[in-house]
Amino acid sequence: MRSKNICKFHSADTIEPLNIRCFVRESNPDTFRVPRILTSNRIALIIQGDGVAQIDGVSFPISRGVLLFCFEGEKVCFQERKELELLYIDFYGTRGEELLRRFDIRKVSRLFPSFDTLEPFWLDSLSRAGEGTVDLAGESMLLYTFSRMKSPSGEHTKLLRRILDITDQSFSNPTLSLSSIADEVGYNPKYLSHLFKEKMGIGYAQYLRNMRIKHAITLFESGIDSVKNVAFLSGFSDSLYFSTVFKSKMGVSPAEYKRKKS
Cα distances (Å, whole numbers) of residue 241 to 77, 167, 208, 246, 256: 34, 20, 14, 8, 16
- Longest Cα–Cα distance in the chain: 60
- The Cα–Cα gap between 245 and 257 comes to 13
Cβ proximity of 195 and 100 under 8 Å: no
Separation between Cα atoms, residue 91 and residue 18, nearest integer Å: 7
- pTM to 2 decimals? 0.62
* pLDDT score recorded for residue 9: 57
Measured from the Cβ of residue 14, the count of other Cβ atoms closer than 10 Å reads 7
What is the spatial distance between Cα 44 and Cα 86, in angstroms, rounded to a whole number?
7
pLDDT tens, the chain, 262 aa long: 455 656 655 555 455 788 999 999 999 999 999 999 999 999 999 999 999 999 998 999 999 999 999 999 999 999 988 899 999 999 999 889 989 988 889 888 899 999 999 999 999 999 988 878 888 999 999 999 998 887 666 777 788 889 988 998 999 999 999 999 999 999 999 999 998 888 777 889 988 998 899 899 989 988 888 999 999 999 999 999 999 999 998 899 999 988 887 6
Structural domains of the chain ordered from first start = 6-147 (2.60.120.280), 155-261 (1.10.10.60)
pLDDT at 157: 79
Position 153 scores a pLDDT of 64
The helix/strand/coil state of 105 is coil
3-state SS string for 126-158: HHHCCCCCHHHHHHHHHHHHHHCCCCCCCHHHH
Residue 63: what residue type?
S
Residue 11, pLDDT score: 55
Q: Tell me how long the chain is.
A: 262
Q: Helical H runs in the chain? A: 29-32, 94-102, 119-128, 134-147, 155-170, 178-185, 189-200, 204-221, 227-233, 239-250, 254-261
